[in-house]
Amino acid sequence: MFSPVKLGELSLRNRVVMAPMTRDRAGPGDVPTEIMVEYYRQRAGAGLIVTEGTQPSPAGKGYYRTPGIHSEAQVEGWAKVVQAVQDEGAQIVVQLMHVGRASVAANKDPNAETVAPSAIPCPALIPGPDGVPRETAPPRALETAEIAGVIGEYVTSAKNARRAGFDGVELHCASGYLPMQFLSSNSNQRSDQYGGSLENRIRFVVETLEALAAAIGPGRVGFRICPGITLNGMDDANPAETYAALLRAVDGLGLAYVHLIHIPLPDEVDALDLVHANWRGPVIENNNLNLDSAAAVLAAGRADAVSFGRAFVSNPDLVDRLRTGAPIAKLDRATLYTGEGDDRRGYTDYPTFGQTVAEAGQGA
């Protein structure tokens, strides 16, 4: 866990990855804020940080106060985050997250549309600006001729990411957002070359990954999948088949990694087995890991790196804690997405283990 590893062009000094986590702390114009710089700097003990989901366009935004990477101000804001993290010796990639139909209109620019592969609304409720879950906006189905433009927004964002200094990008293909809406049989009812057959349903993701690879180099492009997840109304008829086909189609591109959110699949197919059967590139394993399970999956050669989400929220020094066996602090769910302006609570005020011990000493 504490040895260096290469994932494509990314050089990690350890195999601990901070998983992408939406925290809703961007400022006006969806620009990364100073407290975001501090938050990521505190967690730069990781070998690699994957940022929170970041929209490649105004239409790609679905949640309140998520950052973008399509305007110059956003690029400048991210450049400060990147510099802070790289100064600490970690690598950092931006997660490109276009939510498609999983979007609340009040969370985004009034002129921004809601688009999806098909005009089928997302059945899930998503928090609005007040944090209360509400109905999503009904999507308009993308015209065939528009799809190249959506892929182009991802490409421009990836180039912006490199200008901001990011080491690469991660394409978010999980959680029921736009790429997964193309992949899943129930949300993709198209009759053109982007829908219908298995080959057609994977085309959007394959073409997007090819375009990202061509723009910034394949070794700087990773992608995230979660076969079988039902979040945001996903109900693929055969996830094992869908993801086997996707992985095989992009295996030859030389991408940096696949980032697996590992959940049980129907028919006793193990998702990590499925990845290894169809993909020869680096693998980041995720979901509910602890020190022992993470060490075991690495020792077995089943993953090249492991990622932690929630543990990184409440343990800025997570890598040190894993290394020394120090206790892992619990997170406060109530402050995951709250705070206006420079409110640090639940964001940058989690202490390191050393600070906890020092405070306990003072109290005694």
Does residue 62 bind ligand FMN (CB under 6 A)? Answer: no
List Cβ neighbours of 117 (8 Å cut-off, separation of 6 or more).
100, 141, 142, 178, 181, 182, 187, 188, 189, 190, 194, 195, 204
Region from 85-93, 187-195, 303-311, 344-352 binding ligand FMN, contact rule CB under 6 A: 303-311
Nearer to ligand FMN, 10 or 96 (CB): 96
One character per residue 132-171, x = contact with ligand FMN (rule: CB under 6 A):
----------------------------------------
One character per residue 253-292, x = contact with ligand FMN (rule: CB under 6 A):
--------x------------------------xxxx---
Residue with tokens 């804020």: 33
Rounded-to-integer distance, Cα 342 and Cα 67, Å: 15
Out of 16, 46, 84, 174, the only residue in the binding site for ligand FMN (CB under 6 A) is 174
Other beta carbons within 10 angstroms of residue 239's beta carbon come to 26
Does residue 52 bind ligand FMN (CB under 6 A)? Answer: yes
CB 259 within 8 A of CB 226: no
Cα angle 114-116-118, degrees, rounded to a multiple of 5: 125
Nearer to ligand FMN, 19 or 150 (CB): 19
Q: Looking only at residues 206 through 245 of this chain, which bind ligand FMN when binding is defined by CB under 6 A?
A: 224
Does residue 65 bind ligand FMN (CB under 6 A)? Answer: no
**What's the closest the beta carbon of residue 260 comes to ligand FMN, in angstroms?**
9
Q: Which of 63, 154, 177, 347 is catalytic?
A: 177
194 annotated active-site = no
**What's the closest the beta carbon of residue 177 comes to ligand FMN, in angstroms?**
9
List Cβ neighbours of 194 (8 Å cut-off, separation of 6 or more).
117, 144, 147, 182, 188, 200, 201, 203, 204
List Cβ neighbours of 134 (8 Å cut-off, separation of 6 or more).
104, 106, 125, 126, 127, 128
Nearer to ligand FMN, 52 or 167 (CB): 52
Does residue 309 bind ligand FMN (CB under 6 A)? Answer: yes
Site size for ligand FMN, by CB under 6 A? 22
Does residue 95 bind ligand FMN (CB under 6 A)? Answer: yes
Q: Which string of DSSP letters, residue by residue, matches 257-286?
A: EEEEE----GGG--HHHHHHHH--S-EEEE
List Cβ neighbours of 264 (8 Å cut-off, separation of 6 or more).
228, 271
Does residue 53 bind ligand FMN (CB under 6 A)? Answer: yes
Nearer to ligand FMN, 190 or 226 (CB): 226
Report, as residue numbers or ranges, the catalytic residues. 177
